[in-house]
Every structure is written in C-alpha cells, then in structure tokens.
Amino acid sequence: MPRLSVWMIRTALLHLAIGFGLGALLLAQRGMALNGVIPRLRPAHVELLLLGWTVQLAMGVAYWILPRFRSGAERGDERPAWLAYGLLNAGVVSVALGGAGLAWIGLQFWGRCAEAVAAGAFAWHAWPRVKPFA
Amino acid sequence: MPPLTRWFVKAALVYFVTALLLGILLQAGTVRALPVLQVSWPTYVHILVVGWLTQLIFGVAYWLFPRDSAARPRGSERVGWASFVLLNVGLLLRIIAEPGAALGHNAAGLLVGSAVAQFLAGLAFVANTWPRIKER
C-alpha cells in the first residue's frame, strides 16, 4: 500500500473513531440529558463520518488500487493527491469546528472551499489513471 | 471470503433492503401519518448509513486490506467478531429505542446501551484494522 493511502486510510479511521464517539454522545443525550452543548455537535458528527471517514477512505483505496502507469511514476503525479489529502482534512476540521460553534462561523465556508478544491485536486490526479490496465 | 466478512455483508444487505422499504413507508400517503413513522427519519438514516454502508465497508475491509502477519493475517478474529456483534446489537437497540423515546416512552437505558455498543464497535474495528494499514 502506498504511503499516501496509509495516511488517508489511517486518518479516515481516526475520523471514524471520533465521529462514532460524537454519535454515541448524541444518542445517549436523547436518553439522559448529559449536557446542553452536545446537540451542537451534530454537524461535526455528520462531517467527520461523511467526509472524514467515508469519502477519505474511498480516496485512499482509490489511490492504492486504480490502474498504474508502465513508464514514469507508477501512480503519476502524486502532488495533487497529497494536496487533496491536506485540503480535505483541513476542510473537515474547519467545518466540524465551525458547525459546533467552537470556532469562527465563517470557517465553515472556507472549510467547504478547501473540500471542493480537494475534490478537484484528487480528480486531477485520478483522471488519467481511469483507463484499461493494459 | 472469510466467515466474518460473509456475516458483515449479508447483514448489510438485510439493512439495505430494510432501509429502502422503510423509506417507502416514510413517503407513503396515509401510512406516514402513523406516529412511529413520523419520528423515524433519524432511524432510517442510521439503518442506511450504519447498517448498510458502514457494515459493508467493515466487511470488505476485513477481507481485502493487507495482511497483518502470516500468523494473524486479518488481525484478531475475536476483535473482528466483537465489532460485528456490537455494531448490530447497538443498531437494533437504536431501532427499538429511538422512535420509542421520541414518542415519550422511557428508553434511556436502551439508548445509552446502543450508544455504548456502537462506539465500542467502531473502536474495535479501528483497533483491528490499524496495524494492517501499512506501506509494503
């Protein structure tokens, strides 16, 4: 497994653990009022599990298993994929913190922008690898 | 395909069908006026996202991710089974308790049990998968 896939999948696993933790707090809150702040964590719960876990896992696995090139770098130019990794995680953390009211609310907008650029950078990297193996 | 993966994937398929059938009920004329269906949107989303999507990922990852070692190719089988059982027990408790609580029944114990079980399932999966994510 290439280094970037290791980073993406391990980071996705961290998002999974934290996202499930937040989900557990939200669910338990419905049964016993633990803390009035907990319902504000819902957007962070969704963000971590949808983008941080599911989307990032898909990106990490795609980077690993999409067809490689016979000549030159086997996975092509890695830089856009690394950029996607950095921007996606910056975006997820920004949206999660902004959504929970733990940071400047405008951070959510810039987080979404980072996520969109991450998607574009990853597509830029992956596009030429979507081809027949031969 | 190892037995644990078969259990994960078949359970995921059951939740997939269940979620989409519930989705029909949530949109169906007079039926959706039933009190239990009016409060079932969060349950529907979690059946789909946890029961189907997450469980399918857990099963396929357990099967296809790189081997941990020759002695323990898929990590700890016990921890893998624990994640399967906890995830499904937690989700089933949620399916019972969440609409019940929304309708005013006392389901605190079930909700907390569901929360704890699903959280532990996630941790078990992460712990078992982490050592298998490594550079060749």
Query: In chain B, what residues touch A3 (CB-CB under 8 Å)?
Result: 135
Computed over every residue of chain A, the mean pLDDT equals 94
Region B23-40 average pLDDT: 87
Q: Does B97 contact A31 at a Cβ distance shorter than 8 Å?
A: yes
ipTM over 0.90: yes
User: Does residue A131 sit at the B interface (CB-CB below 8 Å)?
Assistant: no
Name the residue facing A32 among B49, B108, B114 (closest C-beta). Answer: B108
pTM reported for the whole predicted model = 0.94
Tally A–B CB contacts below 8 A: 71
Place of tokens 């997939």: B16
Whether residue B45 lies within 8 A of chain A, CB to CB, comes out as no
- More confident site: A29 or A33: A29
In this prediction, residue A101 carries a pLDDT of: 84
Of A37-41, B15-19, B51-55, B88-92, the range with the lowest mean pLDDT is A37-41
Question: How buried is A91 (Cβ within 10 angstroms: 0-12 exposed, 13-18 middle, 19+ buried)?
Answer: buried
- Indicate the residue of A16, A23, A27 with minimum beta-carbon distance to B126: A16
Query: Among B32, B37, B131, B51, which Cα is nearest to B90's?
Result: B51
Q: What's the pLDDT band for B33 if we cut at 50, 70, 90?
A: confident
Over residues B81-109, mean pLDDT: 95
Is the Cβ pair B134, A2 closer than 8 Å?
no
pLDDT at residue B118 in the model: 98
Return the pLDDT at A134.
53
